[in-house]
Structure 1
Amino acid sequence: MRFHPVQYIHAARGQEHKVTMVTMQVLLLTVVLILPSVENLSFRNPEYSVTVDKLLGKWYITRWAGNPPIPAKKKFSPLPPFIFVKNILGKLEFRMNISKPMGCVVLKMNMEQERENSGIFYIWPNHRINIAFIGGMDFAIAYHQSNINNQLLKMTMLMGKNMTPRPTVILDFEDFVEFVQLKRTDIINPGFDDSCELFGET
Structure 2
Amino acid sequence: MCVGYVATVTMMPSYRSYDKIYGKWYTNAWMGNVDIPNDKKNQKMPPFVIKPISANKIEAKLNLKKNGRCEEIKLILQTTNEPGKMVTWGKQIVGLLNMKVKDNMIIYMEGKMNGKNIIMMQLLGRNSDVNPEAFEIFEEFVRSKGQDVTKIIKPEVEADCIPGRS
Residue 159 of structure 1 and its aligned partner are, at CA, apart by 1.1
Deviant stretches of 4+, over 6 Å: none
CA contact (8 A) 1:54 1:137 kept: no
CA contact (8 A) 1:58 1:161 kept: yes
Decide which moves more: 71-80 or 57-66. Answer: 71-80
CA contact (8 A) 1:45 1:134 kept: no
**Equivalent in the alignment of 2:32:** 66
Instruction: Tell me the TM-score normalized by structure 1.
Output: 0.66
Which ranges in structure 2 are unaligned for 5 or more consecutive residues? none
Instruction: Give a deviation string over 1:85-108, Cα, whole Å, max 9, x none.
Output: 123x45422111121236322122
Instruction: Find the aligned partners of 1:118 and 1:153 in 2 and give their Cα distance.
Output: 22
1:133–1:62 CA distance, 2 compared to 1 (3 A):
same
**Equivalent in the alignment of 1:105:** 71
- Taking only the aligned residue pairs, the percentage that are identical comes to 27
1:150–1:127 CA distance, 2 compared to 1 (3 A):
closer
Instruction: Find the aligned partners of 2:117 and 2:91 in 1 and give their Cα distance.
Output: 18
Aligned pair count reads 156
Q: 2:65 aligns to what SS in structure 1?
A: strand
Instruction: Tell me the TM-score normalized by structure 2.
Output: 0.78
Structure with greater strand percent: 2
1:195–1:112 CA distance, 2 compared to 1 (3 A):
closer
Superposition pairs for residues 113-152 of structure 1, below 5 Å?
A: 113-114=79-80, 116-148=81-113, 151-152=116-117
CA contact (8 A) 1:45 1:169 kept: no
Aligned residues: CA RMSD: 2.6
Superposition pairs for residues 51-62 of structure 1, below 5 Å?
A: 51-62=17-28
1:100–1:165 CA distance, 2 compared to 1 (3 A):
closer
